[in-house]
Structure 1
Amino acid sequence: ARDSMEEAIANMREGAQALAKADRARAQAAQGRGGQPLRDPLGRPVGEAGGGVNVPEISDAQRARELLEELRRRLSEGERTDDEIKYLERLLERF
């Protein structure tokens, strides 16, 4: 199941890249004809796909799971002070 999920994510990335490339080509063609730059419904120039959005890699999600597991493990240890326990609980609430 994990392999098929990774393959699906890779296919989605490829599709998004192809769509962005097509948008850039369309925007360049419109500007080449002397027209105004194309804009999306929100008024952003077409062809600047992503706009600085960073999509986490699988490894980022795995790292987050590992951190949560470590927080839970530490919380389950009996040798923690009340302050440490409250701190760990606050961290877990954020996730």
Structure 2
Amino acid sequence: MRLLKLFLVLLLVALQYRLWFGDNSLPEYWHLQEEVARQAETNEKLRQRNQVLIADIEDLREGEIALEERARNELGLIKQDETFFRLVPTQTNQYDDN
């Protein structure tokens, strides 16, 4: 009977060791869960970014107005016979008494 108890205790210790320190242990499992959560968050951000890009592409394919707006804003283009005025605000000194 005493030998059986000793065997069961050793078996329990061996199983606990594997559970906490061996391959596929609980800490490793928890680490993998965190990694999966981070990857899912990254995937969601990329999915949202892709949706915005898809909407931009569809907008550019569909409408001339969006294409013109992008050319004006990003490339600084103007139409033929159109005059472009850039208003530059004057810098005033906030400590000036004038």
The answer to which structure, 1 or 2, has the higher relative contact order (CA under 8 A, 6+ apart) is 1
Q: Is the pair's TM-score, using the shorter chain for normalization, greater than 0.5?
A: no
Structure of higher CA gyration radius: 2
TM-score, length-scaled by structure 2: 0.34
**Structure with more helix by fraction:** 2
